[in-house]
Chain A
């Protein structure tokens, strides 16, 4: 999390960058003008006094200072804060971005103008940390950035110049200890900026080329060839070659009750590093290879995917397992399966022939994992079958439990699938039918300070629909911010409202049931985050970069779903809207 001190650093950086590249009349020692201000984090109000001081170099003589301070399109009064008028003082009554412009007249010198954008914060503002993620266009070949920035309630925020480091081109290799090149997938994360991932592949000879920041990185290598284990390194561009080996053996067994479970796929993820993929033998045993790394008692995620024919659910457990010990995975003996063959899928009493049906369900406490410590395992099932000509499901085993059936009634419309979610409870018996209810209307309105025409609404499936890999529906509002479509009856969604025009901030309404959609949702006011993109040492601004604000505290897919996103314009400028964190 960026501290106030860090923001002061930003102010200092802007100060310095204002000096750069300003040419004067004297090519050897051109006149330079730069501005600094105090306090580094001004706050608004009657006492919100800001002092701006000019620093002029290479301009001898008595100088004339012509200041201008503006805010929200109007001029702001100021007073001199220095006898020679080289400093001014103004009171920032309201929060926001104040523009200070200065022209300096010097005898015999042509001094460049200087300007500064000063962020004045609302003293009662609540802060929100977000990630600013910038990916330059491919042809520019510079590393991305992923920085924390702090947004304050009630205050637009001008980042000023956002300067990307050009990085350095690196050529490296991935090889075995026997010097054999290894094709692999490689991710490189600069230390201290884990979100700024650079990806690459090494070729069949193990060679890779990449442009990265000239600093240490956490590098993950996932080899594409069997017998070698993924591994994480602390890597430096100055020593780019990587050696990868088979890793160490990790052994275990998978059982269903006391019976061994054959042909199950097992994989561990140790502190974020996956192992090789193992398949259980007839006695349920498995051996995989992995690199535990240097972390003491790392979090280990165990995933078991039984053979489809078993009908058992997929099992997951996560704990600080001791992978030096045998990993024993045990499905509860009480976990049984049922054959769903013969169940008829229908709508309105009519059989639905040749329809894809996905039987899904999350199941708690389906077993245990033991490796040094014991942990309960949860699970889920996802079985996809197709009904026959009479609408009957084929003979397939599924876990006995409270499952759901997601029926793809009609998916020929590329814009809107006709889906249905129907309870399919196998706890005690197999239901004779799956009734697929008709799609239900979804209509709501996004409201802001005014009409939110063109508002974007994403319906992100959760629950059974998510387990069935149903895609996100993306809707566009009309002139009044209204959206309307049809959604699967029985479905649940997280609803993401966002305004591409930046008038309101994003709002997420979670777990909205198909039959409890609000008539309208009020979006929070937005504050803007703006800046100008460039690359160190390159006078050109970056056009067409992807600029996103991302959640700083989220995990999973939500970590990658933008709160707001734009592409930088011809001048390298960008403006993003983020929900106003509000005031106390």
Chain B
């Protein structure tokens, strides 16, 4: 019997009594449902999703929902889904966190299957169940770089380069060993980078930090490129540019006593300690910081021009940061000149004439390597 014929028989059966004295309820119809809120962007493992059930019941009945979400292995389609859902719900809104792995705790989730069923208050269920298949993609690791130098980023001194990695789906520990590549100026040694052990921040378990010590052999623009790869071949590359300079000259920062200018002379009436209190330099500063093997200390040289001398005479053995002058060594009224000169490890020669009271190898009045006191013996 055809389907049309059956309907006709049914209609006859129903119409006949009604036309007599019987009343029958209208036939309850099934609700129809749809899933809304499908993400517009790629879904990653670990993402938080919020889906919404939209229903329409022809009879205006209250509709009850039932959500189920399955983690799946995408190449196998629905056959690759877990047997049991990882999440379910009965509300109109369904919030889930995309799992990282299937229930075998090994296979990465690559597909998400969300099923929505519904029934009205009379028990009519929607047919068919609404199903949403969402491809789940791997999230690449995160990577941040930083660098620091305690030596002013000068050649032949170590520069620490730090990489902070994270991986929202696999965790930072799953990231493969980082690859570090150095790009340098012509003649630069791009292999001068070695492991540097650093501790981890216990308050930040979502990240791990790694470090290398890079020691540039020449000045110029250097780039350190770091690549992080996760187990699913997700890759992130970041780079940091480092401008490496040559070791700058030392600068006299503080001297005692005051230096007379404009032809004046500092009168001394008692033994006086001429001192260089502070020298600023990338590497050879004073006072020294000797707990750093790359740092040294300033070298000092002192000279004196006594009355009748044509030029300053170096004082052999005066290599400290101070030099004592006893006015009793001279005749009262004498004018002498006491001179301090400083050098770092590059030992730049001060090219200024001996008659210049100050000297700067870089022609910067704010960074001088020579200072001369004009002193009157009293």
A and B pair up: yes
B82-90, B191-199, B235-243, B317-325: which lies at the interface: B317-325
Interface residues on A, range: 35 or more
Q: Who on chain B is nearest to A274 by CB?
A: B269
Complex Cα–Cα for A206 and B257 (A): 20
Docked Cα-Cα span, A413 to B285, in Å, equals 23
Which stretch, A106-114, A115-123, A197-205, touches the partner chain B?
A197-205
Pick the contact of A203: B262, B318, B323, B324 (CB < 8 A): B262
Q: State the total of A-B contacts with C-beta under 8 angstroms.
A: 125
A560 at the interface (CB under 8 A from B): yes
| Interface pair B290/A454, CB less than 8 Å apart | yes
The CA-CA distance from A163 to B142 in the complex, in Å, is: 44
| A305 pairs with B301, CB closer than 8 A | no
Q: Are B264 and A567 in contact (CB under 8 A)?
A: no
- Asked whether B253 lies within 8 Å of A138 as measured between CB atoms, the reply is yes
Task: Report the separation of the CA atoms of residues A469 and B313 in the bound assembly, to the nearest whole angstrom.
Answer: 14
B253 touches A556 (CB 8 A): no
B277–A565 touching, CB < 8 Å: yes
B: residues with CB less than 8 A from A are: 253-254, 256-258, 260-262, 264-267, 269-273, 275, 277-278, 280, 285-288, 290-291, 297, 301-302, 314-320, 322-326, 328-329, 331-333, 376, 378
Flag if A138 contacts B254 (CB, 8 Å).
Answer: yes
Among A305, A413, A473, max chain B CB count under 10 A is at: A305
Known: A224-B265, A471-B323, A500-B287. A277 touches B333 (CB 8 A): yes
B265 nearest CB across to chain A (Å): 7
Known contacts A382-B329, A500-B288; A417 and B317 CB within 8 A of each other: yes
> Complex formed: what's the CA distance from A46 to B331 in Å?
64
**CB contact between B317 and one of A222, A303, A416 (< 8 Å): that residue:** A416
Task: List 5 tightest A-B contacts by C-beta distance, closest first.
Answer: A417-B316, A474-B320, A471-B318, A199-B258, A411-B316
Q: Does A135 contact B (CB under 8 A)?
A: yes
Give the distance in Å from the alpha carbon of A476 to the alpha carbon of B297 in the complex: 10
Interface status of A154 (Cβ within 8 A of chain B)? no
User: Known contacts being A137-B254, A277-B333, is A201 close to B264, with CB within 8 Å?
Assistant: yes
Evaluate contact between B319 and A305: CB separation under 8 angstroms.
no
Least Cβ distance of B320 to chain A in Å?
4
B378 — nearest CB in chain A belongs to which residue?
A274
Contact with B along A179-210 (1 / 0, CB 8 A): 00001010000000000000111011000000
- Nearest CB of A to B193, in Å: 26
CB-based contact B277/A557 at 8 Å = no
Choose among B288, B324, B378 the residue that contacts A557 (Cβ–Cβ < 8 A): B324
Alpha-carbon gap, A380 to B266, bound state (A): 25
> Which of A185, A303, A548, A556 is in CB contact (< 8 Å) with B266?
A185
Residue A546 at the B interface, CB < 8 A? yes
B374 to chain A, nearest CB (A): 11
Residue with the greatest number of chain A CB neighbours at <10 A, chosen from B256, B267, B278, B325: B278
Binary per-residue interface labels of chain A (393-428) against chain B in the complex, 1 for a CB within 8 Å, 0 otherwise: 000000000000000100111111100000000000
A472 interfacial contact with B, CB 8 Å: yes
| Residue of A200, A269, A472 ringed by the most chain B CB atoms within 10 A | A472
A256 at the interface (CB under 8 A from B): no
Question: Can you list 21 contacts pairing A with B, beta carbon distance less than 8 Å?
Answer: A135-B256, A137-B254, A137-B278, A183-B264, A200-B258, A201-B260, A203-B262, A224-B264, A265-B331, A277-B333, A308-B331, A314-B328, A411-B314, A411-B317, A454-B290, A470-B317, A471-B317, A472-B318, A472-B320, A472-B322, A565-B287
* CB-based contact B316/A416 at 8 Å: yes
Chain B positions within 8 Å of A545 at CB level: 278
CB distance from B365 to the nearest CB of A (A): 12
* Set of chain A residues within 8 Å of B286, measured between Cβ atoms: 567
Q: Given B273, B317, B332, which contacts A415 in the complex, CB threshold below 8 Å?
A: B317
| List of A residues within 8 angstroms of B333 by Cβ | 265, 277
How far apart are A487's CB and chain B's nearest CB, in angstroms?
10
Q: Is the CB of A415 within 8 A of B287?
A: no
Contact between chains at B254 and A546 (CB < 8 Å): yes
A305 neighbours in B (Cβ, 8 Å): 331-332
CB neighbours (8 Å) of B253 from chain A are: 137-138, 544
* Cross-chain contact B270 with A556 (CB below 8 angstroms): yes
In the bound complex, what is the Cα–Cα distance between A204 and B262 (angstroms)?
9
| A458 close to chain B: CB less than 8 A | yes
Q: Tell me whether A500 and B290 are in contact in the complex, defined as CB-CB below 8 angstroms, given that A135-B277, A269-B269 are known contacts.
A: yes
List the B side residues contacting A408 at CB < 8 Å. Answer: 316
A359 to chain B, nearest CB (A): 13
Q: How far is the CB of A225 from chain B (nearest CB, A)?
A: 11
Interface: A354 (CB within 8 A)? no
Within the assembled complex, what's the spacing in Å between the Cα atoms of A277 and B290? 47
Contacts of B277 in A (CB 8 A): 135, 546, 548, 565
A308 to B: closest C-beta gap in Å: 8
Within 8 A of B (CB), among A451-478: 454, 458, 469-474, 476
Contact (A557, B267) CB under 8 Å given A382-B329, A474-B320: no
Q: A137-B254, A185-B260 are known contacts. Are A458 and B319 too (CB-CB below 8 A)?
A: no
Query: When chains A and B are docked, how far (Å) is the Cα of A274 from the Cα of B253?
Result: 31
Q: B272 — which chain A residues lie within 8 A by C-beta?
A: 557
Does A335 reach chain B (CB closer than 8 Å)? no
**A269-B269, A458-B320, A544-B253 are contacts. A382–B264 as well, Cβ < 8 Å?**
no
Q: Which residue in A222, A269, A380, A411 is a CB contact (below 8 Å) of B328?
A: A380
**Chain B residue at minimal CB-CB distance from A412:** B316
Q: A274 to B285, alpha carbons, bound, how many Å?
A: 38
Q: How far is the CB of A199 from chain B (nearest CB, A)?
A: 4
Tell whether A567 pairs with B287 under 8 Å between CB atoms, given A277-B378, A416-B316, A469-B329: yes
Q: Which residues of B contact A544 (CB under 8 A)?
A: 253, 278, 280
Which residues of chain A are near B320, meaning CB under 8 Å? 458, 471-474
A347 touches B (CB below 8 Å): no
**A236 interface hit (Cβ, 8 Å):** no
Q: Taking the nearest CB of chain A, how far is it from the CB of B318, in angstroms?
A: 4
User: Which residue of B262, B280, B324, B331 contacts A472 across the interface (Cβ within 8 Å)?
Assistant: B324
Specify which of B261, B315, B316 is in contact with A201 (CB 8 Å cutoff).
B261
CA distance A204 to B261 in the complex (A): 11
| Choice from B258, B297, B332 contacting A277 with Cβ under 8 Å | B332
Find the B residue at minimum CB distance from A267: B332
Q: Complex formed: what's the CA distance from A476 to B298 in Å? A: 12
| Closest residue of A by beta carbon distance from B325 | A469
Chain A residues with CB below 8 A from B261, complex form: 201
| Also in contact, A471 and B264, with CB within 8 A (given A414-B314, A415-B319, A454-B290) | no
User: With a CB–CB cut-off of 8 A, which chain B residues contact A560?
Assistant: 273, 275
A2 contacts chain B at the CB level, 8 A cutoff:
no
Which residues in window 506-560 of A have CB below 8 A to B? 544-546, 548, 556-557, 560
A295-326 vs B, CB cutoff 8 Å, 1 = contact: the mask equals: 00000000101001000001000000000000
Complex Cα–Cα for A541 and B102 (A): 56
For the complex with contacts A185-B267, A267-B332, A567-B287, 8 further pairs of A-B residues with Cβ separation under 8 Å are: A137-B278, A277-B378, A308-B331, A416-B317, A417-B317, A469-B324, A544-B253, A567-B285
Q: Binary interface profile of A, 547-580, with partner B (CB < 8 Å = 1, else 0)?
A: 0100000001100110001110000000000000
Cα-based distance from A473 to B272 in the complex (angstroms): 17
A107-158 interface with B by 8 A CB criterion:
135, 137-138
Q: What residues on B are CB-neighbors of A224 within 8 Å?
A: 264-265, 267, 376
Establish whether residues B287 and A471, one from each chain, have CB atoms under 8 Å apart when the complex forms. Answer: no
Contact A471 to B288, CB < 8 A, known contacts A201-B264, A274-B378, A546-B277: no
**Contact status A135-B273, CB under 8 Å:** no
User: Within 8 Å CB of A471, what residues of B?
Assistant: 302, 315-318, 320, 323-324
Is A501 among interface residues, defined by CB-CB distance under 8 A?
Answer: yes
Are A222 and B267 closer than 8 Å at their CB atoms?
yes
Return chain A residues, CB-CB under 8 Å to B329: 382, 469
> In the complex, which residues of chain A have a beta carbon less than 8 angstroms from the beta carbon of B291?
501
Task: Check B287–A566 contact: CB distance below 8 A.
Answer: yes
Give Cα A414–Cα B287 distance, bound, in whole angstroms. 21
Q: In the complex the two chains form, what is the Cα distance from A471 to B240 in whole Å?
A: 50
Q: Which residues of A contact B271 (CB under 8 A)?
A: 556-557
Q: Which residue of chain A has its CB nearest to the CB of B321? A: A474
